[in-house]
Chains A and B, each alone.
Chain A
Amino acid sequence: MKKDSIAAILRYTKGFRLPMLLSFLLLGCELIISFVSPLVMSVTIDSVLGGAPLNTPWYFSWFIHAVGGVEIIRKNLWIMAAAMLGLQIILGVFRFVRAKCNNMAGEGVVKSLRDRLYYHIQRLPYAYHANTQTGDIIQRATNDMDTVRRFVSGMMLEFVRTILMLLVGISIMFTLNKLLTLITAIMVIPVAVASVMFHNKIREQINEQETVEGQLFTVIQENLTGTRVVRAFGRQAFEMEKFDEQNEEHREKLMILIRSFANLWTTLDALCGIEIAAIMIVGIVLSVNGKLSIGEFTAFTSYVYLFFWPIRGFGRVLNHFSRTLVAVDRIEEVFNAEEEDGLDEGLTPDLSGDICFKDVNFAYDTTPVIKNLNMTIKGGSTVAFLGGTGSGKSSISLLLQRLYDPQSGEITIGGTDISKIKKTYLRSRISIVLQEPFLYSKTIRENIGIKFKQPDMEEVKQAAKSAAIHEDIMSFEDGYETVVGERGVTLSGGQKQRVAIARALMGESDVLIFDDSLSAVDTKTDASIREALTRHRKNVTTIIISHRITTLMEADKIFVIKDGQVVEEGNHEELMNLGGIYRRTYDIQNAVVVEGSEV
């Protein structure tokens, strides 16, 4: 698993490897400059001011000879000042370019990974979405993704920096003084170990603290959403007690957590302190014995800080790395789910013809829903399905859009087997209004015109009028620009359905399906919508699924579905005369008025 995850991370970097490598390279240069610049001071102190013979790395000696030797510099001290400034400017440029490369690569990887995941999720089959806990995929797409993001766009560089710094730092220090380098290098080990150990423990404590915090927030949330209950029972004192209990626990957990941080930082400070003291003391002794110059000593004192800061954070980086591996694993699981096939290729025939079901059988898992269904829906006609819950009437529309495929049998439209038709084409020509419509958190205008990139406002209004939602929309303060959903206005169930109906009416379609979508609107509105449909409909096959007889009775043909089969079919008159289920349902629904008036 670990190996796979690392391989996956490497795969994610594809397309961004060049800027990424470049940024690592520049980081290396940066580190070299940071370690070299203290040498400017060191040379100045020793040779320029102190008159000691040059004892510097070759590139330094070369620089000094190039400007004319120590004597010239002594008279023109600004050369050293300029060299120092020059190094800082070069360092600044490197840093900027490195940050640019690194962030372009990091953010690019994240963007492409996010885009790919989103795209993939969109293309997963209907069944996947129906069978998977939405919360779980959302977690993976957001939280796990965020862990990966932080790693790729920050932690990864820290990781590389630490390693490069050990290499660069130690080799430059080594040219100056072996003993001091050894002392510095050895101290890296306890610092790294302490950092890693503490971070593992702290991670646990963070989890604990977050759990308690979650509980505290739940108490607050429940109290505030249930204010009426609290007041009606006069339970303020009790609630306060409950809150106090959680609040105290949280106080304690937070304190414990920060204490651990205090211990960690103190330990690291102590280790750094030992290091500094050791460098100073050993430095003095070496210098007095003529084995270390003053300039070299000042350089080493700068190195200690340069060296230890990144190593202090190593535990955090390592910890994050192991969490990233887990996150990658969880994201890969989503990627491994297979996408729907036939989305983009297949036939694109005319779909206004007859719809035929031939011996169709369909089951979710093992529960059969549709059994040997045979029926023909005449192209351009209006048909209706009447059936109880679980009769299979809704599955018919899912099969028509090929959101599911039947286990056996054949569905044809105008003689073409729909399994040969391009799925996106099929779905775009068949408009369906689901029972519980989902609206996007966009404006109402955008929601109605959702099938189009830039919907025509006139058409949107027309669709809204047909769906009898125009008046409602105009009553909102922002009219068609009202944002719905999470961040906006909450629509009632009936309003949502009517927006969904308007959405389905936008654009051209050959087949229109209303899956129980007229049930949340009242009888009058229902009638006016149907009336508008008849007016606008030209050669569109309309399928209405409902259990309200008044909604169905005007259809050209009515199918009564029971246990996945057609048990009665015909128009209203015929079915009334038949005296079966349809008749019974009609009687109960209409008996109302007669019985009601007798009460």
Chain B
Amino acid sequence: MSSIVEKDYQSQKIKLDTWKVIFKIALNYKGAYARVLGCGILAGIVDLCMSFMTMWAIDGFMSPGTTKNLPLYIVAIVGLQALLCLTTLLMVRACGYLESNLSSDVRREAFYKLQTMSFSYFDKTAVGFLISRLTNDVSRIMEMISWMGIDLSWGTMAIIASLIAMFAVNLKLALITIVCVPILAIVSVLFQKKILKYQRQTRKYNSMITSSFNEGITGAQTTKTLVREELNNQDFFTLTGNMKRASLRAALISAVYLPVASIIISIAIGFVLIQGGHDVMKSVITVGQLNFFINIGNMMFEPIRHFAGIFAEFQSSQAAAERVVEVLTATSDIVDTPEVIEKYGDSFNPKRENWEPIKGDVEFRNVSFWYKENEPVLKNFNLKVKAGENIALVGATGGGKTTIVNLVCRFYEPCEGEILIDGVNVKERSQLWLQSSLGYVLQTPHLFSGTIRENIRYGRLDATDEEVENAAMMVGAHDFIRSMEKGYDTEAGEGGSNMSTGQKQLISFARAILADPKIFVLDEATSAIDTESEMKIQAAAEVLLKNRTSFIIAHRLSTIRNADRILVIDEGEVIEEGSHRQLMRKKGHYYELYMNQFRNEQFTKSLEAL
């Protein structure tokens, strides 16, 4: 897992708009929240009743010295305790139900959303950040809003019930006790904010220490050659020093908070004791009642502390909540019109029966495209490709080659002009219609975790094992797959087998060929791989390209030479066009490029001769 953390937004204010989105989702579980609320209220009442039970014990039995009604007392106390157990059980279960469901639901919604987002969205937001939003941020927010119901309902109830009970028992003592509530609340909020702040600081330092270790270990060899051990140590010691200071501060603030709160409560209790003591002596109140007031001061503190905690949590979760909500409310640049969806279905429920078969004619008609206004990548671009034609795109990086193939795939849509497939504007068909007839092989092959078989089958989900193996055979991957210990059942993903990039590339070819695409896009790798894999990939590509419209961002000489048409692209324009022979004779840009490429290949060859 990537451990990237996005920079927190600087704003620490709680923004209601953000939370509204989240609460709206939470409201899907009204039932569970109602249960939590009910249990919380019940727990608050039971807590209060327990104070009464002590009062009853003193005033009803001990002071008069009688055991009359003791059976009733026993029933009551056992009943109350049983009720308390029951509320704990139901409440925790309900919260668990909320947390697991809410986090799953939100994650699902966000994941779904991301499946429909256009590529411009992924350009703006780094994938690492998106991953951490869907994982850590969602976990954190959902845990918070699932469990806060307990504190809110129980705390509110405890405070309200205590207030009512106090006023019912004795007005004067009640007033004395209440004075400390607002003071406690203010002190609690102030401290909780500070505590949270320092806790976050220590977490930050802790993760810095982790990455320091990471660096110190992965870079150990370099460190040795640079004799940087001593300076590294100094850097590290400074960091651990900061960590020590920050966590000490966090601990000390907590260590001040609790005593300060206790002292505030003690002052209130002290006044209750003085006033109440006189009242007892004058027989205005009973001993039990006095004891009740003294207990209740302590009891009210807990909910106040929790409220302050929730407040601080909300504030510090604001940034994470904003990030999650941003994904949930994002809108895609590329949306099929309702008419298109009506006819062809959407990406999750396609109506394949209405799909026209694709031939593979591609046309760019006056297409302009830019990522940023005023910086056009393509300007008034025109291109006609007949079905089955192989097009090689060559030219410097940043010239617009990738943009052209992205437009063909409808990963982006033109800012001006239109793209026609089989003579029809792509916008009049669904995205899935085009994309499921598309083969796309990337420079760096992306395989999913799972077996090699599953990875190839990704091209066509209902393919039989035999068809999978046939596809592998066609691209020349069958032999090396078979030679592995587990053959087609070898794990392909990260941490699985030690397949070379070339081998992974062949598997991605097999996956593409199984899909039997009508239009094929290939982004060739720039880095040289060993000659043997190179030849295999070349052979595989040839099989793939036959009778398919194809666009290749070409680096390999053989690919370039075999193309039906070569387009030299520079600054969004076709500056040369023609077959290999024609362009070589011209001795222009293409000639330059080709010679450069040739030199590089020759250089690689010389290395193998050494």
Verify if B108 is at the interface (C-beta below 8 Å from A): yes
Q: A118-B216, A232-B438 in contact; A388/B277 too (CB < 8 A)?
A: no
Q: A85-B266, A231-B411, A294-B62 in contact; A261/B131 too (CB < 8 A)?
A: no
CB of A26, distance to nearest CB on chain B (Å): 11
Q: Tell me which residues across on chain B come within 8 A of A263, comparing CB atoms.
A: 89
CB pair A221 B2 closer than 8 Å: yes
Most chain B CB neighbours (cut-off 10 Å) among A153, A244, A298 = A298
Verify if A407 is at the interface (C-beta below 8 Å from B): no
Q: Tell me which residues across on chain A come within 8 A of B179, comparing CB atoms.
A: none
The size of the chain A interface, using a CB distance under 8 A, is: 147
| Binary CB contact string for chain A from 78 to 94 against chain B (1 if under 8 A, 0 otherwise) | 10111011001101110
Q: Report the Cα distance A389→B606, complex, angstroms.
A: 12
CB pair A81 B274 closer than 8 Å: yes
Q: Report the Cα distance A218→B508, complex, angstroms.
A: 20
CB pair A235 B458 closer than 8 Å: yes
Chain B residue at smallest Cβ distance from A587: B606
Q: Which of B414-422, B441-449, B531-539 touches A?
A: B441-449
Chain A residue at smallest Cβ distance from B112: A240
Q: Tell me which residues across on chain B come within 8 A of A288, comparing CB atoms.
A: 61-62, 65-67
The one of B1, B77, B89, B220 that contacts A281, using a Cβ cutoff of 8 Å:
B77
CB pair B216 A294 closer than 8 Å: no
Q: Tell me which residues across on chain A come within 8 A of B610, comparing CB atoms.
A: 386-389, 391, 547, 581, 585
Q: A220-B131, A294-B62, A450-B226 in contact; A259/B93 too (CB < 8 A)?
A: yes
Interface of A is mostly: helix
Q: Tell me which residues across on chain A come within 8 A of B269, comparing CB atoms.
A: 81, 84
CB pair A229 B442 closer than 8 Å: yes
Chain A residue at smallest Cβ distance from B445: A229
Q: Report the Cα distance A257→B493, complex, angstroms.
A: 29
CB of B109, distance to nearest CB on chain A (Å): 11
Q: Which of A136-144, A188-196, A472-480 touches B?
A: A136-144
Q: Tell me which residues across on chain A come within 8 A of B521, comparing CB atoms.
A: 232
CB of B517, distance to nearest CB on chain A (Å): 8
Verify if B314 is at the interface (C-beta below 8 Å from A): no
| Binary CB contact string for chain A from 116 to 152 against chain B (1 if under 8 A, 0 otherwise) | 0011011110100110001001100110011000000
CB pair A220 B134 closer than 8 Å: yes
Q: Tell me which residues across on chain A come within 8 A of B290, comparing CB atoms.
A: 45, 49
CB pair B54 A233 closer than 8 Å: no
Verify if A174 is at the interface (C-beta below 8 Å from B): no
Q: A82-B270, A287-B62 in contact; A123/B229 too (CB < 8 A)?
A: yes
Q: Report the Cα distance A401→B226, complex, angstroms.
A: 10
Q: Tell me which residues across on chain B come within 8 A of A134, comparing CB atoms.
A: 217-218
Q: A217-B135, A218-B449, A294-B63 in contact; A224/B227 too (CB < 8 A)?
A: no
The one of A236, A251, A388 that contacts B607, using a Cβ cutoff of 8 Å:
A388
CB pair B240 A427 closer than 8 Å: no
CB of B160, distance to nearest CB on chain A (Å): 22
CB pair B213 A221 closer than 8 Å: no
Q: Report the Cα distance A80→B290, complex, angstroms.
A: 14
CB pair B240 A114 closer than 8 Å: yes
CB pair A233 B57 closer than 8 Å: no
Verify if B294 is at the interface (C-beta below 8 Å from A): yes
The one of B54, B220, B432, B594 that contacts A121, using a Cβ cutoff of 8 Å:
B220
Verify if A357 is at the interface (C-beta below 8 Å from B): no
The one of A216, A281, A388, A391 that contacts B73, using a Cβ cutoff of 8 Å:
A281
Q: Tell me which residues across on chain B come within 8 A of A85, comparing CB atoms.
A: 263, 266-267, 270
CB pair B259 A96 closer than 8 Å: yes
Which residues B424-448 have CB closer than 8 A to chain A? 431-432, 435-436, 438-440, 442, 446, 448
Q: Tell me which residues across on chain A come within 8 A of B599, comparing CB atoms.
A: 592-593, 596
Q: Report the Cα distance A266→B85, complex, angstroms.
A: 5
CB pair B70 A284 closer than 8 Å: yes
CB pair A254 B436 closer than 8 Å: no
CB of B130, distance to nearest CB on chain A (Å): 6
Which residues B84-99 have CB closer than 8 A to chain A? 84-85, 88-89, 92-93, 95-97, 99
Most chain B CB neighbours (cut-off 10 Å) among A217, A234, A387, A389 = A234
Verify if B244 is at the interface (C-beta below 8 Å from A): yes
| Binary CB contact string for chain A from 212 to 243 against chain B (1 if under 8 A, 0 otherwise) | 00101110111111111111111111111001
| Binary CB contact string for chain B from 233 to 266 against chain A (1 if under 8 A, 0 otherwise) | 1101100110110011001101110111011001
The one of B229, B255, B263 that contacts A88, using a Cβ cutoff of 8 Å:
B263
The size of the chain B interface, using a CB distance under 8 A, is: 146
Which residues B567-601 have CB closer than 8 A to chain A? 584, 594-595, 598-599
Verify if B114 is at the interface (C-beta below 8 Å from A): yes
CB pair A233 B435 closer than 8 Å: yes
Most chain A CB neighbours (cut-off 10 Å) among B100, B219, B225, B442 = B225
Interface of B is mostly: helix
Q: Tell me which residues across on chain B come within 8 A of A231, comparing CB atoms.
A: 409, 411, 431, 435
Q: Tell me which residues across on chain A come within 8 A of B483, comparing CB atoms.
A: none
CB pair B131 A262 closer than 8 Å: no
CB pair B274 A262 closer than 8 Å: no
The one of A84, A93, A124, A145 that contacts B220, using a Cβ cutoff of 8 Å:
A124
Q: Report the Cα distance A153→B202, complex, angstroms.
A: 13
Chain B residue at smallest Cβ distance from A48: B277
The one of B81, B220, B243, B432 that contacts A276, using a Cβ cutoff of 8 Å:
B81
Chain A residue at smallest Cβ distance from B606: A588
Most chain B CB neighbours (cut-off 10 Å) among A107, A218, A231 = A231
Q: Report the Cα distance A221→B446, complex, angstroms.
A: 12
Q: A134-B217, A244-B108, A247-B108 in contact; A284/B67 too (CB < 8 A)?
A: yes
CB pair A95 B602 closer than 8 Å: no
Q: Tell me which residues across on chain B come within 8 A of A281, comparing CB atoms.
A: 70, 73-74, 77
| Binary CB contact string for chain B from 261 to 292 against chain A (1 if under 8 A, 0 otherwise) | 01100110111011001101100000100110
The one of B88, B100, B214, B435 that contacts A251, using a Cβ cutoff of 8 Å:
B100
Verify if B197 is at the interface (C-beta below 8 Å from A): no
Q: Tell me which residues across on chain B come within 8 A of A234, comparing CB atoms.
A: 347, 350, 431-432, 435-436, 438
The one of A153, A274, A386, A438 that contacts B222, using a Cβ cutoff of 8 Å:
A438
Q: Report the Cα distance A105→B92, complex, angstroms.
A: 36
| Binary CB contact string for chain B from 49 to 69 against chain A (1 if under 8 A, 0 otherwise) | 010011001100111011100
| Binary CB contact string for chain B from 515 to 528 against chain A (1 if under 8 A, 0 otherwise) | 10000010000000
Q: Report the Cα distance A231→B437, complex, angstroms.
A: 11
Q: Tell me which residues across on chain B come within 8 A of A250, comparing CB atoms.
A: 100, 104
Q: Tell me which residues across on chain B come within 8 A of A137, comparing CB atoms.
A: 217
Verify if A453 is at the interface (C-beta below 8 Å from B): yes
Chain A residue at smallest Cβ distance from B82: A273
Chain B residue at smallest Cβ distance from A293: B62
CB pair B442 A220 closer than 8 Å: no
Using A92-B260, A237-B349, A548-B603 as known contacts, list a sample of 11 further A-B pairs with CB atoms less than 8 Å apart, ordered by residue number in A. Answer: A45-B291, A85-B267, A96-B252, A103-B251, A141-B213, A228-B411, A247-B108, A273-B85, A287-B65, A440-B219, A592-B599
- Please give me the 9 A-B residue pairs with the lowest Cβ-Cβ distance, nearest first: A258-B96, A92-B259, A273-B81, A81-B270, A232-B440, A388-B610, A99-B255, A234-B436, A262-B92
11 A-B contact pairs sorted by A residue (CB < 8 Å):
A81-B270, A81-B274, A222-B449, A231-B409, A234-B347, A251-B101, A255-B100, A258-B100, A297-B58, A343-B229, A403-B224
Which residues of A does B touch, CB under 8 Å? 41, 44-45, 48-50, 74, 77-78, 80-82, 84-85, 88-89, 91-93, 95-96, 98-100, 102-104, 107-108, 110-111, 114-115, 118-119, 121-124, 126, 129-130, 134, 137-138, 141-142, 145-146, 153, 214, 216-218, 220-240, 243-244, 247-248, 250-252, 254-255, 257-259, 261-263, 265-266, 269-270, 273-274, 276-277, 280-281, 283-285, 287-288, 290, 294, 297-298, 301, 343, 386-389, 391, 401, 403, 424, 427-428, 432, 434, 437-438, 440-441, 450-453, 486, 503, 547-548, 581, 584-585, 588-589, 591-593, 595-597, 599
